[in-house]
Every structure is written in C-alpha cells, then in structure tokens.
A and B are shown apart, each in its own frame.
Chain A
Amino acid sequence: KQEVTQIPAALSVPEGENLVLNCSFTDSAIYNLQWFRQDPGKGLTSLLLIQSSQREQTSGRLNASLDKSSGRSTLYIAASQPGDSATYLCAVNNYGQNFVFGPGTRLSVLP
C-alpha cells in the first residue's frame, strides 16, 4: 500500500530565503505526483503536476523535481515571501489508483 510522508512537519524561514520541501513515497511505481498549497481553513490549490515520465516541472518561483527510483520529490521555492506561508501537501498515485496524500509541511515565511 502506498504511503506518503513529508518532512519536516513545519518549517520557519526568513523572507528571501530559498527553501526545499520534501515528499517521500514507498511505492516508486507511480503514475504522477501533484503538489498543492493549502491556506488555513481553505481548500487545496494545485501548484504543479509531474507525470512519471518527467523529472521536473516549473511554475514561476516554484520548481518540483521527481526521482522515482528513490521515491522522492522536492518542491523548491525561490526567494520566499510572507505570502508563501501555507501548508504544502504532495499527493501521489499509482496507475489505476487514486491519489494518496502526505500530511503536509506547514511553512512560515517571516518578514
């Protein structure tokens, strides 16, 4: 059964710092991986979707990489801003299965 973990559970950084969020999964035979942002009390906003054939995806200051063989994905945020403060969740799916979500990393960017 696929299991997804995200470390650290919480992270606090000063504004302007580049940072990396980690997502690990136990079954490397994934079909795709999706990163989300969630603000307190709100729904999830899709950030990036990486398909199994891709190694990375970029959107603005965000870059997500995927290493299936090691069961890892990283979300890189460049030049962090206070508005980036939120919980970041990753979700993976194996072919023919629904997404399995990680517990999230709560990010605080301090001005």
Chain B
Amino acid sequence: DGGITQSPKYLFRKEGQNVTLSCEQNLNHDAMYWYRQDPGQGLRLIYYSQIVNDFQKGDIAEGYSVSREKKESFPLTVTSAQKNPTAFYLCASSIGGLGAYEQYFGPGTRLTVT
C-alpha cells in the first residue's frame, strides 16, 4: 500500500528538549510538507521541500528545523526555541511542489510539551 506514515502518533516532551517527528512516504513524490494544526485554525505551513537536499521555510518556520537527505523521508525537529510547540503536526506530499498538485497527508503526530 502506498502512503505516508508518521511516527509516533503521540509524543510527550519536557520543555527545553528538542524532539524529532518522523515522516516517510512510499508514493515516489518529489515534494513534502510539514504543517501545524491548532484548534479552530487552518493548517499553517512550517517547511516544505520540492526535491532531495533542498527545503524552504514556510509561514511559521521559527523554532523548527528539517532535513531532506532521502526522497522518502522528511523529518521535522521541534527545537527548544519554539515558544508554543504543543500542537498536531501533519506531514504531506505531492508529485510536484508549490501547490500545483494534489496533496496527500499522513495520520499526524500530536505533540504535547509540558
């Protein structure tokens, strides 16, 4: 089955710790995205990557970092510099980038920082 996997489903961390969220896809898509979802708000773009070894900041990149060393993988690190990290994080992919193609989403990771 082709799709996008995110792990873990739930993640708990203490304030001040960095944490890495995993995103893997086997759809052979070039573009991958990380979004953050907060209650009552639309999804906000954190980072996106149109091709391996390249990525761009989205609207709310501060306090986050990413890497794209493999086509299938796009991990997101939430650093201690992110002031309000508790949220639902969604990873997506598409055949190509910049919104020209249908996006497919993973199941999400809910991060709670206390």
Contacts and interface: CB of A to CB of B under 8 A. Distances in A.
Given A103-B40, A104-B42, A41 B102 contact: no
A99, A100, A104 pick with most chain B CB within 10 angstroms: A99
B72 to A, nearest CB: 17
Contacts of A99: 45, 99, 103
Contacts, number: 62
A32 interface: yes
Interface residues of B, number: 26
Nearest to A51: B100
Given A96-B98, A97-B99, A4 B42 contact: yes
Interface residues on A, range: 20 to 34
A103 to B, nearest CB: 5
28 contacts: A4-B42, A31-B100, A41-B110, A42-B108, A43-B4, A43-B107, A43-B108, A44-B43, A44-B90, A44-B103, A44-B105, A45-B105, A46-B102, A46-B104, A46-B105, A49-B102, A89-B43, A93-B99, A93-B100, A96-B98, A97-B99, A98-B45, A98-B48, A99-B99, A99-B103, A102-B42, A103-B41, A104-B42
